[in-house]
């Protein structure tokens, strides 16, 4: 059974600091997705990583994928309050032909304090 | 443009009653997914549709759960004889045909079973 584990689960940071969220998964896959969820809201797609070594950046967020280590990271640079949210990684373990059966991590609740 | 919509946004029901949750995917998206988000279980995959077909129903928690999709568009998730453990947020997502496409999530239906 595929397991996707994120750490930390809770992260409280100050503005302007840098930090990294880790996503480890237990089976071979080169399809990894990062989502953001604000309180009471649905999931918003952030990044789609589809190959070993893939790196995507958007503003202060950068995501990378190492399929050999089965590890993805979400790096936050010079955090600002607007980035406070819960971040989920999700892995597609190729269980379905022609579609995705995403397995999500537990989520990392990020709070950025002024 | 219009995103994924779900109705109702909130549903409170009594134990033992049946409920129907509706999902309207983004126009033209052939793949449709149902997930459940609860405090105890995190985000769980329930079922997906490719067109009107649901090839994999293994994620449905019990035989009280069923889903259908008509016209390659609207989908309904039905829960019969609801139990308190069914209380959760039910999320629907859709994506264009393609195994690596981003899934676009709806706002969810919060189900509370009393």
Who's near A63: CB < 8 A, 6+ residues apart? A34, A46, A47, A49, A55, A56, A57, A72, A73, A74, A75
pLDDT for B1 equals 55
Q: How many CA atoms lie within 13 Å of B26's alpha carbon, on the beta-carbon side?
A: 17
Rounded to 5 degrees, φ, ψ at A38 are -85, 155
Is the minimum CB–CB distance between A9 and chain B shorter than 8 Å? no
pLDDT band at A47 (very low <50, low <70, confident <90, very high): very high
Q: Name every chain B residue with its beta carbon within 8 A of the beta carbon of A39.
A: none
Beta carbons of A100 and B99 less than 8 Å apart: yes
Q: Which residues contact B5 (CB under 8 A, 6 or more apart)?
A: B23, B24, B106, B107
Joined together, the tokens standing for residue B8 give 């109702």
Cβ neighbours of A45 in B, within 8 Å: 102-104
**pLDDT by residue for chain B (114 residues), tens digit each?**
589 999 999 999 999 999 999 999 999 898 999 999 998 778 999 999 988 988 888 889 999 999 999 988 999 999 999 999 999 999 999 998 766 778 999 999 999 999
What is the arithmetic mean of pLDDT over A92-112? Answer: 84
Alpha-carbon gap: B43 to the closest alpha carbon of chain A (Å): 6
> Does A37 have pLDDT greater than 90?
yes
Closest residue on chain B to A107 (Cα): B42
Q: Which of B79, B59, B77 lies closest to B67 in space, CA to CA?
A: B77
CB atoms within 10 A of CB A5: 13
Residues in chain A, total: 114
SS3 B72: coil
Chain B residue at shortest CA distance from A34: B102
**Which among B93, B35, B103 is positioned nearest to A34, based on CA atoms?**
B103
Interface of B with A in 51-80 (CB under 8 A): 55-56, 59
Residue B38 contacts A where some CB pair is shorter than 8 Å:
no
B-chain residue closest to A48, CA distance: B102
């Amino acid at each position: 059974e595929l397991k996707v584990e994120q750490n930390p689960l809770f992260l409280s940071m100050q503005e302007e600091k840098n930090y990294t969220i880790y996503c480890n998964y237990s089976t071979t896959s080169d399809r990894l997705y990062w989502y953001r969820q604000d309180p009471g809201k649905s999931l918003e797609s952030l990044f789609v990583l589809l190959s070993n070594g893939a790196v995507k950046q958007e503003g202060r967020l950068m995501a990378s994928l190492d399929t050999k280590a089965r590890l993805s990271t979400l790096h936050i640079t010079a955090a600002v309050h607007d980035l406070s949210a819960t971040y989920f990684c999700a892995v597609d373990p190729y269980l379905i032909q022609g579609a995705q059966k995403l397995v999500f991590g537990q989520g990392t609740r990020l709070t950025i304090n002024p | 443009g219009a995103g994924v919509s779900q109705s109702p946004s909130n549903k409170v029901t009594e134990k033992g009653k049946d409920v129907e949750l509706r999902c309207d995917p983004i126009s033209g998206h052939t793949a449709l997914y149902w997930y459940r988000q609860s405090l105890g279980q995190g985000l769980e995959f329930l079922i997906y549709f490719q067109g009107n077909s649901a090839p994999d129903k293994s994620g449905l928690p019990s035989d009280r759960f069923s889903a259908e999709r008509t016209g390659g568009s609207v989908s309904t998730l039905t829960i019969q004889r609801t139990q308190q453990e069914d209380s959760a947020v039910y999320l629907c997502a859709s994506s264009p045909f393609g195994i690596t496409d981003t899934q676009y999530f709806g706002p969810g239906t919060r189900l509370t079973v009393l």
